[in-house]
Structure 1
Amino acid sequence: MNLNLRHAVLANVSENTPAQLEDTIVDAIKSGEEKMLPGLGVLFEVIWQTANEADREEMLQILEQGLKK
């Protein structure tokens, strides 16, 4: 991924409220557009990097469950 893209995504949402962040995520998922995937990846990267080990394990379990559906 291009670091300029990562920087642009972070700059776009850095001052968003939790509600605005949720809207961004929901809109990106609902749109189903491939071009939104890198932005969601950047947001997930932030979540992963700031999560503690227990939170990471929980995310992995949720992901595993979601993939089995």
Structure 2
Amino acid sequence: MSIIVDIDVMMAKRKISVSALADRIGITPANLAVLKNGRAKAVRFTTLEALCEALDCQPGDILRWERDSDD
């Protein structure tokens, strides 16, 4: 099972850069890149809330679950 992060999709829809979004939610661009590229092991609910507020979306718009192909 895999959690897929679609922050980049929402960023493209909202036409916002990594640095601008990082400033809005109060994290470093490097940490946002870790989240955006799916390399994060966890995300704080406060960060998820800030992302949803900044991108005007729901958590399900930026996170989704997919079954691994070998399951």
Tell me the TM-score normalized by structure 1. Answer: 0.31
Between Structure 1 and Structure 2, the one with more helix by share is 1
Name the TM-score, length of structure 2 as normaliser. Answer: 0.31
Flag the structure with more relative contact order, 1 or 2, with Cα contacts below 8 A and sequence separation at least 6.
Answer: 2
